[in-house]
């Protein structure tokens, strides 16, 4: 009877665990010390942070995230981005992780702003890498918070692309996003592996997020490590305009660096990460 009772309890425990397990990301933890969350950019996996983690894990507990639909993490239903945000908050609270610093590249940086605006008391600091509060304003002229539907001609076209065309599109984009050609195969391997629906609908989620007003709610330090390619003056104006509601933000500009700052200026990037963590 005791054996049967133990089996039933174990089964119930297993079911409860599976029900409440995180679905929208995988996390790999390395190192000891103050906690740090590392969020990759769109289409990338936690592998993006390999060199950074190699250094940071000597002094910090690094939580390296890969989001659903990227790498080997199974995709989830939409809304994709808001589900990730809510489950990271739940992950932090349920694991009683004490005020982690949020380090995010691109979409991961935007996610960091969103988390800090929603739950400032839960986190210590934001270090964003070439990330804006509103990506749509960068891409859509005279953008005024209009919502883009999942079902649109551009998305349909991308969903119907064959693999060769999809990979060709990514290869073209990477030419502009990373000046360090030795890192192009690494980036492309991550991007080409992405679940296509996540790649398309997740990008819509990101474009539909406008945090330009919300960032005023952030009560913790925010540091940005920004790329300057192709034109530093334009980049500076863009950041100044988008962070008008958060004048306390500190922005450092990486010379001769495109979107993947950690690959284009690795020493500058590593030094700035360490300095701002300490």
Phi/psi-derived region of residue 252, left when phi > 0, alpha when psi is between -120 and 50, beta in every other case: beta
Longest dimension (CA), the chain: 75
Tell me if 76 sits within 8 A of 63, measured CB to CB: no
Q: Tell me how far apart the alpha carbons of residues 149 and 208 are, in angstroms, rounded to a whole number.
A: 9
Triad 266, 61, 246: Cα angle to 5°: 65
Is residue 6 pLDDT above 50, yes or no?
no
CA angle 244, 250, 253 (to 5 degrees): 105
pLDDT at 21: 55
What domains can be seen in the chain, in order of their start residue? Answer: 23-277 (3.40.50.1820)
Per-residue pLDDT tens over the stretch 162-216: 999 999 999 999 999 999 999 999 999 999 999 999 999 999 999 999 999 999 9
SS (H, E, C) the chain: CHHHHHHHHHHHHHHHHHHHCCCCEEEEEECCCEEEEEECCCCCCHHHHHHHHHHHCCCEEEEEEEECCCCCCCCCCCCHHHHHHHHHHHHHHHCCCCCCEEEEECHHHHHHHHHHHHCHHHCCEEEEECCCCCCHHHHCCCCCCCCCCCCCHHHHHHHHCCHHHHHHHHHHHHHHHCCCHHHHHHHHHHHHCCCHHHHHHHHHHHHCCCCCCHHHHCCCCEEEEEECCCCHHHHHHHHHHHCCCCCCCEEEEECCCCCCHHHHCHHHHHHHHHHHHC
pLDDT in tens, 106-157: 999 999 999 999 999 999 999 999 999 999 998 887 888 889 999 999 999 9
pLDDT at 262 over 50: yes
Beta bridge pairs of residue 111: none
pLDDT-derived band at 278, boundaries 50, 70, 90: confident
pTM of the complete model: 0.91
Distance from C-alpha of 58 to C-alpha of 120, rounded to nearest angstrom = 26
User: Tell me, what's the pLDDT at 139?
Assistant: 86
Q: Which of 134, 125, 110 is nearest to 40 (CA)?
A: 110
pLDDT for the residue 141: 79
**pLDDT tens track for 204-254:** 999 999 999 999 999 999 999 999 999 999 999 999 999 999 999 999 999
**Residue 17 pLDDT > 50, yes or no?**
no
């Amino acid at each position: 009877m005791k054996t049967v009772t133990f089996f039933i309890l174990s089964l119930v425990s297993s079911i409860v665990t599976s029900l409440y397990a995180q679905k929208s990301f995988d996390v790999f933890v390395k190192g000891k010390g103050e906690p740090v969350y590392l969020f990759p950019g769109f289409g990338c996996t936690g592998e993006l942070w390999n060199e950074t983690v190699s250094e940071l894990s000597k002094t910090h507990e690094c939580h390296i995230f890969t989001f659903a639909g990227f790498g080997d993490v199974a995709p989830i239903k939409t809304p994709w981005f808001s589900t990730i945000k809510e489950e990271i908050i739940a992950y932090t609270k349920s694991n009683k992780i004490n005020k982690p610093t949020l380090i995010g590249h691109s979409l991961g940086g935007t996610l960091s702003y969103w988390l800090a605006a929603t739950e400032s008391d839960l986190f210590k600091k934001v270090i964003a890498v070439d990330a804006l509060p509103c990506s749509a304003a960068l891409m859509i002229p005279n953008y005024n918070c209009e919502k883009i539907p999942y079902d649109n001609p551009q998305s349909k076209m991308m969903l119907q692309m064959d693999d060769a065309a999809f990979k060709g599109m990514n290869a073209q984009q990477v030419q502009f996003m990373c000046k360090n050609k030795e890192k192009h195969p690494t980036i492309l391997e991550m991007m080409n592996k992405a679940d296509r629906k996540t790649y398309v609908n997740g990008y819509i989620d990101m474009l539909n997020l406008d945090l330009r007003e919300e960032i005023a709610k952030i009560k913790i330090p925010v540091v940005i490590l920004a790329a300057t390619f192709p034109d530093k003056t334009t980049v500076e104006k863009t950041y100044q305009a988008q962070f008008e509601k958060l004048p306390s933000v500190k922005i450092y500009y990486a010379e001769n660096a495109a979107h993947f700052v950690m690959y284009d200026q690795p020493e500058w990037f590593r030094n700035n990460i360490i300095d701002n963590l300490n």
